[in-house]
C-alpha cells in the first residue's frame, strides 16, 4: 500500500466515524423526551434520566419521594395488555399550572376520559409540580412524574384514577382520570373524601368532589 492509498483510507474511515457520531447525537435528542410504559419500573427510568428541573426560587417546594407503596407498586414488572392490543392509541395532554381561569394550582384539564392503552403527557408548564397516584384501580401501577418537564404515562388498567401534586395537595391540586370505565366508583368516592380532609384552603375544599360529581356517573 502506498502512502497515498493509506491516507485515502484513513480519511474515509475518519469521515465515517464523524458521521456516526452526528447520527447518534440527533437520535438521542429526538428520544430525549422519555416515556414510561406500564411494564417498566419508573424508578430505574428516573435514575437514568437526570432531573432537568430548576427549583423555583423563593417558592415552597416540598418535593417528596414516592411513598413506600408507590415504590413497591412501581417495582412490579409485568406484562401490559397494550403490548398485544391492536389499534391506534392517543397521547393526551395534561398541563401542570400555577393558575388558570378555574383557580390556583391546577391540572388542565383536571378531569380527562381516555381509552384503554391511551397515554397522558403530563407537562410541567410551570415549575415545581408533579403528578402522582393517590388512588387507582386494582392491578394498575402507580406513577409519579418526579418534577420532570414532560412525562408520558400509558394507562392499561380500566377505572378511575385520582392523582395529586405532592407540594400542592393541600391546595387541592389534583385530578381525575377515567380509563375505559368507572368500575371502582365506590373506592374513588371514599378516596376523594380522604383527600379532601387534608385540603387546607376552604375555597377549594370540594374541588375534587365537585369535579367527580360533574363528570363521573
Ligand atoms: Cu403543584
Residue 43 vs residue 143, higher pLDDT: 143
pLDDT tens by residue, 157-210: 999 999 999 999 999 999 999 999 999 999 999 999 999 999 999 999 999 999
- For residues 45-60, give the mean pLDDT: 37
- Cβ atoms of 140 and 158 within 8 Å: the answer is no
What is the 165 CA–ligand 1 centroid distance (Å)? 5
- Rounded Cα distance between 87 and 85, Å, is 7
**Residue 36 pLDDT more than 90?**
no
**Residue 30 pLDDT more than 60?**
no
What is the 173 CA–ligand 1 centroid distance (Å)? 6
* Mean pLDDT value across the chain: 82
Superfamily of domain 37-51+61-215: Cupredoxins -  blue copper proteins (2.60.40.420)
pLDDT band of 78, cuts 50, 70, 90:
confident
**Residue 44 pLDDT more than 50?**
no
Computed on alpha carbons and rounded to an integer, the radius of gyration of the chain in Å comes to 22
Whole-model pTM? Answer: 0.67
- Cβ atoms of 89 and 154 within 8 Å: the answer is yes
What is the 213 CA–ligand 1 centroid distance (Å)? 23
Please tell me whether residue 97 adopts helix, strand or coil conformation: strand
Angle made by CA atoms 39, 33, 128, in degrees to the nearest 5: 95
What is the 69 CA–ligand 1 centroid distance (Å)? 21
- Cβ atoms of 205 and 171 within 8 Å: the answer is no
Amino acid at each position: 500500500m502506498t502512502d497515498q492509498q493509506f491516507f485515502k483510507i484513513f480519511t474515509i474511515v475518519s469521515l465515517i466515524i464523524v458521521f456516526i457520531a452526528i447520527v447518534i447525537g440527533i437520535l438521542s435528542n429526538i428520544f430525549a423526551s422519555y416515556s414510561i410504559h406500564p411494564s417498566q419500573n419508573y424508578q430505574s427510568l428516573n435514575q437514568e434520566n437526570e432531573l432537568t428541573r430548576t427549583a423555583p426560587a423563593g417558592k415552597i417546594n416540598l418535593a417528596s419521594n414516592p411513598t413506600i407503596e408507590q415504590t413497591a407498586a412501581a417495582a412490579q414488572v409485568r406484562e401490559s395488555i397494550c403490548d398485544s392490543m391492536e389499534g391506534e392509541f392517543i397521547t393526551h395532554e395534561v398541563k401542570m399550572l400555577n393558575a388558570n381561569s378555574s383557580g390556583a394550582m391546577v391540572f388542565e384539564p383536571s378531569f380527562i376520559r381516555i381509552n384503554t392503552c391511551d397515554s397522558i403527557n403530563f407537562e410541567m408548564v410551570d415549575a415545581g409540580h408533579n403528578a402522582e397516584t393517590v388512588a387507582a384501580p386494582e392491578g394498575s401501577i402507580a406513577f409519579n412524574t418526579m418534577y420532570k418537564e414532560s412525562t408520558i404515562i400509558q394507562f392499561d388498567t380500566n377505572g378511575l384514577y385520582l392523582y395529586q401534586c405532592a407540594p400542592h395537595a393541600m391546595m387541592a391540586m389534583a385530578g381525575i382520570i377515567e380509563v375505559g370505565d368507572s368500575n371502582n366508583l365506590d373506592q374513588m368516592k371514599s378516596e376523594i373524601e380522604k383527600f379532601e380532609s387534608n385540603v387546607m384552603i376552604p375555597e377549594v375544599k370540594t374541588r375534587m368532589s365537585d369535579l367527580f360529581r360533574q363528570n363521573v356517573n
